[in-house]
């Protein structure tokens, strides 16, 4: 950038304030920020899908709030008749005569703890939603991108693997732990793109290692009624059930 020509002197008020070097190159007056901010580790800024998930979270909190009244024994509650005066007595304000219900008998009822939890959860969820909405409005105002489409594609991608896991879970009692693990252990890396022979060999060996270490050596429990093993002759069936 070249220095502006001093064609109209009344525009130039402070000559020393010109940021240009004598040779015309630009030098900023603000030195670069070279301090490492440890605070950056703790920095938190709301990302794109935040509003949607905050809405879902607030929805779940309200769902539990709605069902609190029927699902926690609130209907069977056992509170003293004159709640106002009981509370006042507990706070030390007034004296009650006669038998006063022990606070413990009230606290141990099953609805107390959920009430305490919801007292923390619902306001926090609504507060979080408010902050998220504020951030969202701010972004919209400054025409920053607010579409959560990319996030949704990521969630869908993750759901695919969730489905694989659930299928694996259903397959184990049918095909047995060894076969299902070998299948998952080889299909999953194949799906992820590791398709060379070397990788197939590595997948096979590592899933086999998992089965041997956890099932054969450590004898971790796996389902015992396995359809595939039941098709085998008895002796082999016993062996497979014990060791695989």
Partner 1 sequence: MKKITTLAALAASTVLSGALPAMAEYPEAPVQFVVPWPPGDFEDILTRMIAAEFQEQTGQSASVVNRPGGGDGPFPGALEVLDGPTDGSVVGSFVIGVPIVGPQIDIGMEEDSFTPVGIFLTYPFVLAASGDAGYSNMAELATYAQDNDVVLGHFGAGLTPTRASFAAAKLMGFEFADDAAFDLLDCNTLSSGDADVINTTLALIEPCLDDINVLANIGSEPIEKLDGVGTLAAQSGVNDIELWNGLFVKKGTPQEVIDVLSEIASATMASDEAQQLMAETGARVYWQGMDVSAARIETDRAKSAELDDIIAK
Partner 2 sequence: MDAFLIGLESLLAPSVLIAIVIGSVGGVIIGAVPGIGPAIAIAILLPATVFLDDLVSLVLLLGVYGSSMYGGAIPAILINTPGTPVNALTTYDGYSMTRRGEASRALSLAYSASFFGGCFSIIAALIALFVFGPYLRDLGALFGQRDIMMAAILGAVLLIAAHRQTMGLAAMLFGFGFLIAMVGRQSSRKIDRFTFDIEYLYSGFNLIVVIVGIFALSQALNLMVGKDDDPPEARIAGGLLSGFKELAGKKVITLCSACYGTVMGIIPGVGEFVAQFFSYSTARTLSKEPARFGHGSSEGLIASETSNNAVPAAAMIPLLALGVPGEALTAMMMVVFFDAGIKPGPDIFENNPDFLFSLFSALLIINALVLLTLLVSTKYIAKMIYIPNRFLGAFVMILSFVGVYSIRNSLTDCVFAVIFGFIGYVLRRLDWPLVPIVLGLVLGSIILERLTAGSGQIKSAIDLINRPVSGTLFVVILLVIGFIIWTSFKNKRTEYQN
In the region spanning residues 160 to 189, those forming contacts with partner 1, defined by CB under 8 A, are: 169-170, 173-174
Nearer to partner 2, 49 or 237 (CB): 49
* Minimum distance, C-beta of residue 149 to partner 1, in the bound complex (Å): 32
Query: Does residue 178 bind partner 2 (CB under 8 A)?
Result: no
Query: Does residue 181 bind partner 2 (CB under 8 A)?
Result: yes
Query: What's the 3-state SS for the chain?
Result: CCCCCCCCHHHCCCHHHCCECCCCCECCCCCCCCCCCHHHHHCCCCCCCHHHHHHHHHHHHHHHHHHHHHHCCHHHCCCCCCHHHHHHHHCCCCCCCCCCCCHHHHHCCCCHHHHHHHHHHHHHHHHHHHHHHHHHHHHHHCCCCCCCHHHHHHHHHHHHHHHHHHHHHHHHHHHCHHHHHHHHHHHHHHHHCCCCHHHHHHHHHHHHHHHHHHHHHCCCCCCCCCHHHHCCCHHHHHHHHHHC
Stretch that binds partner 1, among 24-32, 73-81, 85-93, 224-232 (CB under 8 A): 224-232
Total residues at interface with partner 1 (CB under 8 A): 21
Nearer to partner 1, 37 or 102 (CB): 102
Nearer to partner 2, 6 or 102 (CB): 102
User: Between residue 19 and residue 78, which ones bind partner 2 under the rule CB under 8 A?
Assistant: 34-36, 38, 41-47, 49-50, 53, 57, 60-61, 64, 67, 71-73
- Tokens at 82, concatenated: 């004159």
Stretch that binds partner 1, among 73-81, 138-146, 148-156, 225-233 (CB under 8 A): 225-233
Stretch that binds partner 1, among 61-69, 72-80, 100-108, 199-207 (CB under 8 A): 100-108
Which listed residue (136, 178, 179, 203) binds partner 2 by CB under 8 A?
Answer: 203
* Minimum distance, C-beta of residue 27 to partner 2, in the bound complex (Å): 21
């Amino acid at each position: 950038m070249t220095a502006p020509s001093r064609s109209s002197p009344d525009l130039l008020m402070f000559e020393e304030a010109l940021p240009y070097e004598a040779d015309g190159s630009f030098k900023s007056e603000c030195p670069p920020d070279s301090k490492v901010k440890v605070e950056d580790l703790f920095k938190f800024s709301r990302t794109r899908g935040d509003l949607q998930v905050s809405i879902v979270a607030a929805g779940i909190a309200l769902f539990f709030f709605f069902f609190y009244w029927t699902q926690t024994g609130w209907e069977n509650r056992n509170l003293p008749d004159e709640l106002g005066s009981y509370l006042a007595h507990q706070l030390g304000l007034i004296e009650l005569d006669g038998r006063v219900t022990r606070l413990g008998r009230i606290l141990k009822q099953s609805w107390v703890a959920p009430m305490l939890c919801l007292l923390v959860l619902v306001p926090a969820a609504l507060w979080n939603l408010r902050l998220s909405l504020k951030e969202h409005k701010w972004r919209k105002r400054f025409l920053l991108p607010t579409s959560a489409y990319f996030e949704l594609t990521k969630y869908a991608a993750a759901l695919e693997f969730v489905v694989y896991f659930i299928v694996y879970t259903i397959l184990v009692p049918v095909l047995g732990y060894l076969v299902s693990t070998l299948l998952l252990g080889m299909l999953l890396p194949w799906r992820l793109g590791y398709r060379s022979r070397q990788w197939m060999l590595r997948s096979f060996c590592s899933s086999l290692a998992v089965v041997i270490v956890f099932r054969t050596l450590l004898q971790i429990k796996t389902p015992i009624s396995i359809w595939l093993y039941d098709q085998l002759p008895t002796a082999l069936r016993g062996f497979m059930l014990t060791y695989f």
